């Protein structure tokens, strides 16, 4: 049996620093590197409470675009680890990993 993932979308649809021709989202609607809170940490926390930790092996954070754009990413990761006690995976292009922004992750 493979890993069972709890996938949580933490970014808005079609928001990314790039507009790649091969992107599965098609044309990116909001091309930006500006970090902001897209989904509150409290909302993510409430969503995580509905997940039984015994049913997942890993928490996957994704977005419909670049999931490292949320300003509250560090808080979301901390919350996911604390509530589910599982590894956290972020599906990212890596474009913003070197930019610690206002809140490091």
Structure token pair of residue 26:
């098609």
Say if residue 105's pLDDT is above 60: no
Instruction: Characterize 1-19 residue by residue with b for buried, 16 or more Cβ atoms within 10 angstroms of its Cβ, and e for exposed.
Output: eeeeebebbbbbebbbbee
What's the total number of domains in the chain?
Answer: 1
Q: Which domain holds residue 70?
A: 5-90
pTM of the model: 0.84
Report if residue 77 sits inside a domain. Answer: yes
Report if residue 99 sits inside a domain. Answer: no
Report if residue 74 sits inside a domain. Answer: yes
Report if residue 49 sits inside a domain. Answer: yes
Report if residue 42 sits inside a domain. Answer: yes
Report if residue 101 sits inside a domain. Answer: no
Q: Which tens digits make up the pLDDT trace of 50-100?
A: 999 999 999 999 878 888 899 999 999 999 999 999 999 998 888 887 776
Report if residue 24 sits inside a domain. Answer: yes
Report if residue 19 sits inside a domain. Answer: yes
């Amino acid at each position: 049996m493979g890993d069972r993932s709890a996938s949580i979308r933490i970014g808005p649809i079609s928001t990314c620093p790039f507009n790649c021709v091969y992107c599965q989202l098609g044309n990116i609607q909001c091309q930006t590197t500006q970090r902001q809170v897209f989904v509150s940490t409290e909302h993510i926390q409430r969503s995580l409470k509905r997940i039984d930790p015994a049913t997942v092996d890993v928490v996957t954070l994704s977005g419909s675009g670049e999931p490292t754009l949320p300003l509250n990413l560090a808080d979301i990761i901390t919350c996911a680890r604390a509530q589910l006690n599982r590894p956290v995976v972020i599906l990212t292009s890596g474009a913003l990993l070197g930019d610690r922004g206002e809140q490091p992750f």
